[in-house]
Structure 1
Amino acid sequence: MKRKCDAIQLSLFDNDYRDKTDNQLISELTNKVDMVSDMWEGDYRLEKLFNCLTPQRRRIASAAIELYKRKEVKKKGAIIIRSSADIYNIMRPVLDDLLNEEFWIIALNLSSRVIMQKRISIGGIDQTCADVRLIMRVLIEAGATQFVAVHNHPSGNQKPSNADRKLTEQLKKAADIFNIRMMDHVIITNQGYYSFCDEGLL
């Protein structure tokens, strides 16, 4: 474990970033995180790596990981969603290993092609808030005709809470008003996922 932490630290922190422009920093950090991303998989979670870092390096690593996830989201802009498994495969790299809940939407066109992915909110360990009106506005501005709601459960529990069920109902009703189809609401955990559509709840 220590050897792997040392290797990742060396890969991420072997340069002085103070004189870099924003674009240079984004490019360099995302490329570095891309290079070491294979080291993340398998035998430990990201928080274990963070425990090996100094506070300053922890902040840099957090920023690099966030930039990497944004880069991965942008890569998937041309993907067509056909199933809950597609949603899981798109969003797991974004939501995996997070310590807090995050709520995202994926906007789709008539062909079920992804036209936008956007984080709506960040919550606590076991809940997050999502503003239905804000979500509708984002979808309308994106020109979406369909959408998917996605959030994670850091606890690993795939079962939706009562709040999850209520929010799904509210989103479905609001979307129907604007003639936008709610394709699915997927809960992602490190053990798998739960699909409201697959369970016949949409």
Structure 2
Amino acid sequence: MEELLIESTRLKAAEVELIYKSRVKVADRFVIASSKDAYRLLSGTWNKDTIEMREELKVVFLNRAGHVLGIMTNSTGGIDATTVEIRHIFAAALKAHACSIIISHNHPSGALKPSRADDMMTEGIKQAGEILNIKLLDHLIVTTDGYFSYGDEGLIWPLFCSFHTQ
């Protein structure tokens, strides 16, 4: 009898539930049509007291029409790096039913030029999104003085494509 009890304990598993709840009406959601729109939205999400102290990566989730479904801080790091959790990005994107994403991170140094690590991260996220049919529209590097857009520089897609073309 005791042996059966132990066996049934091993067969237990947690229930997984996927829920996305938005308290914002579709008509009230911010629409992103350009890197400037994305920067305008994202620049308000950084803490002005720490933007030059530690690096953070944020993700904007969008529906097919470019409406913002939500923003998530993916990771917070140190003065010159942060660990990117690609699985976490796409788990949240799938949960929000996002059709596309925009990633953004800050450079505490104030440099707007992307590093080789930034390029590799961008490519990894782009490839993961392609598998899941979730398009990486842009990657913004944000500083207190402005931003750099991979999309505007043609570094994500070979030809300019509209944010809303899927």
TM-score w.r.t. the length of structure 1 is 0.61
- Whole-Å Cα distance in 2 between the matches of residues 103 and 91 of structure 1? 11
SS at match of 1:154: coil
- Whole-Å Cα distance in 2 between the matches of residues 169 and 187 of structure 1? 15
The alignment-based identity, stated in percent, is 39
| RMSD of aligned Cα (Å) | 1.3
Give the partner amino acid of 2:143. T
Q: Which runs of 4+ in 1 moved over 6 A?
A: none
Summarize the Cα distance change of 1:96–1:187 in structure 2 as closer, same or farther, 3 Å threshold.
farther
Deviation of 1:96 after TM superposition, in Å, equals 5.4
Deviation of 1:104 after TM superposition, in Å, equals 0.5
> Residue 181 of structure 1 is aligned with which of 135, 149, 155?
135
Alignment map for 1:1-202 (pairs within 5 Å): 78-95=29-46, 97=48, 98=51, 99-202=53-156
By relative contact order (CA 8 Å, sep 6+), the higher-ranking structure is 2
Unaligned runs of 5+ in 1: 1-73
Deviation of 1:181 after TM superposition, in Å, equals 0.9
SS at match of 1:193: strand
SS at match of 1:94: coil
Q: Report which of the two has the higher share of helix.
A: 1
Quote the residue 1:56 is aligned against.
Answer: none
- Kindly tell me the number of residue pairs found equivalent between the two proteins: 127
- Whole-Å Cα distance in 1 between the matches of residues 38 and 142 of structure 2? 10
- Whole-Å Cα distance in 2 between the matches of residues 188 and 88 of structure 1? 8
- Whole-Å Cα distance in 2 between the matches of residues 120 and 127 of structure 1? 13
